[in-house]
Amino acid sequence: AFRTGLPAWFQKHRRVFPWRARRTPYRVWVSEIMLQQTRTDQAVPYYRKFLRRFPTLKRLAAASPREVLRAWQGLGYYARARHLHEAARFVVRRLGGRFPSNPQAIRALPGIGDYTAAAIGSLAFGHESAVLDGNVIRVLSRVMALETLIHTGPAKRRLREWADALKIPGRTGLSNEALMELGALCCTPRRPDCPACPLGNVCRARAGGKPEAYPVRRRRARVPHKVVGAAVVVRRDGRTLIARRKDSSMLGGLWEFPGGGRDPGESMKKCIARELKEEMGLRLEVGPCLTVVQHAYSHFTIELYAHWARIRSGRPRSIHCAAFAWVRPGQFGRYPFSRADHQILEALQSPAGRAARKNLISAWFSGKKKPGLKGD
């Protein structure tokens, strides 16, 4: 079933993706990094956009971090983009611009773990490296009816042994892709299409009548919810203050409307004022709310309140941020933002947002020059 039925099924049902059309180590590498935390259908437009912007490894290495993050914008998990850029620069500077073919050298590049190294090795260089991604783990767990908790050491060792034993000698890249495709299209997490599965006649979970019981996982903990405030700080000339997150932080390298989490019992205006004092050394006058954003990350959700504000005293300093900038209304496109901050930006640039900004600037800064101009 694994060596005949599965390849035949794959040849018939395989989907068309741009990274399968013309395989080079660079194209395979970029696609595998994107697919680490992103579904294939979501990755396709970003992959095409990224390859148009950086068609070669050398072009990627020559780009600035901001350019790379802008090209990645909207895809999430931005550490992937930073690692991709770091690895490209390393390959150009230390390896003569040639992507390494040695398995250990591939694994040593930033952002590449065991799974990604195996995928790149088998697809780009023909290495005999079996892949264990989420789809493959699900397929093997069901075929073998693995009763062990999937994230434990014993389960991982058993899965690795099975993957190595079931790969097709000389065609490991094909068997890897076929198993991943089977998990994506047929052996899905919910309502698997067992009658259409080429491995159905050897699948123990199907024989037992409970394929959805595998893989065996711990019960998920409740997802934390955070309430956050952000300041849309404007000044007399219409520019808005934004800050760049430190590379070591979540969403590192991206720009944002500065702010932070609300303490228990704290009003939103006090939260924003406190955060801007701690983060940038500013004393603010916090005005009305511009918008409220609901956003979900992989391990928590946020409710983000964005309020208009002006500076009462102090000049912006990069105390707990990497940098800051005063941005003209038409220049936000030069800066990479997270999806949550993009929603604030959309509200800011909407007709209602533009009107509110004009009215606030007129009310706050008309007549005699006020302290809100500090920070120029």
Residue 350 tokens, joined: 């909407």
Tokens of 199: 């491995």
Q: 130: which 2 tokens?
A: 């079996």
What is the 3-state secondary structure of the chain?
CCCCHHHHHHHHHCCCCHHHHCCCHHHHHHHHHHCCCCCHHHHHHHHHHHHHHCCCHHHHHHCCHHHHHHHHCCCCCCHHHHHHHHHHHHHHHHCCCCCCCCHHHHHCCCCCCHHHHHHHHHHHHCCCCCCCCHHHHHHHHHHCCCCCCCCCHHHHHHHHHHHHHHCCCCCHHHHHHHHHHHHHHCCCCCCCCHHHCCCHHHCHHHHCCCHHHCCCCCCCCCCCEEEEEEEEEECCCCCEEEEECCCCCCCCCCEECCEEECCCCCCHHHHHHHHHHHHHCCEEEEEEEEEEEEEECCCCEEEEEEEEEEEEECCCCCCCCCEEEEECHHHHHHCCECHHHHHHHHHHHCHHHHHHHHHHHHHHHCCCCCHHHCCC
The pair phi, psi for residue 234, each rounded to 5°, is -115, 160
Catalytic-residue membership of 32: yes
Identify the residue whose tokens are 């002006």. 310
User: Which residue of the set 32, 177, 275, 279 is catalytic?
Assistant: 32
Q: How large is the angle between the packed helices 25-34 and 114-125, nearest 10 degrees? A: 150
Q: How far is CA 63 from CA 16, 26, 53, 93, 154, in A?
A: 29, 16, 10, 14, 43
The three-point CA angle 310-328-313 to 5° equals 25
Active site amino acids? 32
